[in-house]
Amino acid sequence: MNKYPVWKYLLILAIVLVGAIYALPNLFGEYPAVQVSPTRTTKIDAAVLARIEQTLKDAKLEYLGADIEEGSARVRFADTELQLKARERVARELGEGFTVALNLVPATPRWLDAISARPMYLGLDLRGGVHFLMQVDMRAVLKKSEESVSSDLRRILQKERIRYLTVVRAEGSGVEVRFRDGEERDKARAVLRKELPDLEVSEIMRGAEFALAAHFKEQALIGKAQRTLEQNMLVLRRRLTDEQLGVTEPVIQQQGSDRIVVQLPGVQDTAKAKAILGRTATLEIMLVDEENNSRAVATGYAPPGTKLYKMRDGRPILLKGGVIYSGENIEEAGPGFDSQTGRPIVSITLDAKGAGINQRVTGENIGKRMAVIYIEIKSDPKFDAEGRPVLDEQGRQVRESRRIEEVITAPVIRSQLGKRFQIEGLEGTQEANELALLLRAGALAAPVSIVEERTVGPSLGQENIEQGIKATWIGLVAVVVFMIVYYRAFGLIANISLFLNLVLLVAILSIFQATLTLPGIAGILLTLGMAVDANVLINERIREELRNGNSPQASIHAGFQKAFATIADANITTLIAAVMLFYIGTGPIKGFATTLSIGILTTMFTAVMCSRAMANLAFGSRRLEKLPV
């Protein structure tokens, strides 16, 4: 007799039930919603939520519900028309202290949400979303590299005891080193060519002074530009996939030599995404020039090698030139509260290089002040004198970048610091959270500005979804009819197995919060085809055993057992190909490979174990003269 032990039936039943529960949220759809998020100086509480609800009631705009989740207020509506009207009203009522954005929230029942059963995310081609084209400021990369080279030149010349007059950045590009005589210049040229192979070092004359001009070689510049793009793409991905943002699997790709394409599926409003993408959130640590600070503040003139900055309250402060270390040296950043004052802080952990510099500099400057400078690049649309948008040759609005530099805090160094320290002077918990998030993701290697943004409408996505679902159902119905007609009872078992395969595949994609795209739908269809193929192999093998004169029970046993090797071989080879596609491919190819890989595993489970369990339950304990196959 063909029977499974009871525990195996229970295991299969448990897996199927869990799969059904976690696939269920995909049937409920989404509600259009208005999401209100705080800025760094505000917060969302019950009073703000009540104010939002009262505004909607006064405007006679019906809503399905309102709540506060993860620090933001969300109000759900029945349709997008009400959503758009509500956003306008709420934004007008709350003013600039809050970010009011459009969003889509799952209509999943609370009991499913309580067990983290959530629907799959849909890609840009299915759900719609926003598309950004970002320009990387390569001039800033060159400037930063030249400043770094200037420091390296001084260090090398001092180490080799070569006397020089000055090291300055040349007009245009490059660095110049000036000497009193040609002998020192020639010694320096030989040393620099050996120590800094990325530089092209040549002789020049500056009046009576002997000088060397150092320029980056073209290949070195290309390499720096590529590394900058790659680092910026990595940082942007970390920022967007942080749990606080709720953007999963963004599409981030390089375009040309200095641009990055960012696509965010499901994002209706660009405000929050732009706030994260466009912000550099770079920190620089510099020493305060205590000797000249008072005079510089009074006269507004900064001596050579220094620069005047402003504190957050507007007070000027003079800082020494030369960054001690920057956001690149930050290993970890987390928000918190000062144990003594209760004020928000960000706790910083430095890497080995930053910790060494911090320890040395603070040890040498106890009693002096060290400033933490927050640097941010913002991109704003450009308008003419009459308030009309300025357009470029392609008809796109021109944007202007502006650099914001402010000293967050300038505390006195009380003792030698090391790997860990904290940033104070923040305006609230919201700012502490945002600053920690951006620093944790890493500093951008170069400033970026958004030069193009557009919304991919949901109409195309909806059409793709409908066509994909239609194709899936047509394929399923055709297969179901064929299997029942051709294989009768065993065809029905194969159909149930096929349905379970689809349920489990959707459940796994939902559990891992995968993003479904059109190539992903193609992967699902291919999976269903392979699942049918496995059941066909089993049924044909059972028929062959019956033709060989075996009993029905022996034929069922032999059919499943002998077909397993063929099914396993076929699926393993396909799985290897899918894994290679995942590691080699990008974007849509990865989506297809992911869906196909998971589908192969669910096919092995449903076509072999589930089908066998159903066949055992239906025929295993019966004395049969013939099989309906």
Buried b (16+ CB within 10 A) or exposed e, 573-597: ebbeebeebbeeeeebebbbbbbbb
Cα–Cα distance measured from residue 118 to residue 513, given in angstroms and rounded to the nearest whole number:
8
> What pLDDT is recorded for position 18?
95
pLDDT < 50 stretches in the chain: 243-245
Structure tokens, 144: 């930063």
**What is the DSSP secondary-structure string of 312-355?**
TTS-EEEEESS-SEEGGGEEEEEEEE-TTT--EEEEEEE-HHHH
Sheet containing 344-350: give its strands across.
330-337, 344-350, 420-423
> What pLDDT is recorded for position 41?
61
List, in sequence order, every residue forming a beta bridge with 76; answer none if it has no partner.
33, 65
pTM summary value = 0.60
> What pLDDT is recorded for position 10?
94
| Residue 227 and residue 194 in contact, taking contact as beta carbons nearer than 8 Å | no
> What pLDDT is recorded for position 209?
75
Cα–Cα distance measured from residue 531 to residue 525, given in angstroms and rounded to the nearest whole number:
10
Over residues 103-160, the pLDDT tens digits come to: 778 888 888 988 888 888 777 777 777 788 888 888 777 877 777 788 778 888 888 8
Structure tokens, 72: 């933001």
Structure tokens, 90: 């709420």
Kindly give the pairing relationship between strand 121-122 and strand 515-516. Answer: parallel
| Residue type, position 410, single letter | A
DSSP 25: G
Residues present in the chain in total: 629
Backbone φ, ψ for residue 383 (5° rounding): -125, 150
List domains and CATH numbers for the chain.
6-24+458-619 (1.20.1640.10), 30-106 (3.30.70.260), 139-217 (3.30.1360), 278-456 (3.30.1360.200)
